[in-house]
Amino acid sequence: MITSVPPIAEPDPSALTCAGDQVGLCAGCQRRTHRYGRGGFPLCQWCAEPVKAKWGAAVRFLSTRA
Ligand SMILES: [Zn+2]
């Protein structure tokens, strides 16, 4: 249950801890988040929450590169 989602202008915490070139915009709300590279996810933690709840915590996006 998400009770407090910060404004869109507020970057995802993951964006602050990853390399600058791995920062991208969330696919859901366009918030800055850790989108690329190791540990990257195309959604910020707030948009990812309902997705993970639906698909399970192990959900991950498979690379298209073999
Ligand atoms: Zn988002």
Distance CA 9, CA 30 (A): 9
Q: How far is the CA of 53 from the centre of ligand 1 (A)?
A: 15
- How many other C-beta atoms can be found within 10 angstroms of the C-beta atom of residue 60? 9
Q: How confident is the model at residue 11 (pLDDT cuts 50, 70, 90)?
A: very high
pLDDT (tens digit, 9 = 90+) per residue, 19-49? 999 999 999 999 999 999 988 889 999 999 8
Question: Residue 17: which domain range?
Answer: 1-66
Rounded to an integer, the average pLDDT of 52-56 is 79
Q: How confident is the model at residue 51 (pLDDT cuts 50, 70, 90)?
A: confident
Query: How many domains does one find in the chain?
Result: 1
Half-sphere exposure of 55 (CA within 13 A, CB side): 8
Q: How far is the CA of 40 from the centre of ligand 1 (A)?
A: 13
Distance CA 45, CA 41 (A): 9
The pair of structure tokens assigned to 15 is 């964006």
Q: How far is the CA of 64 from the centre of ligand 1 (A)?
A: 23
Report the percentage of the chain scoring pLDDT > 90.
58
First to last CA, the chain: 36
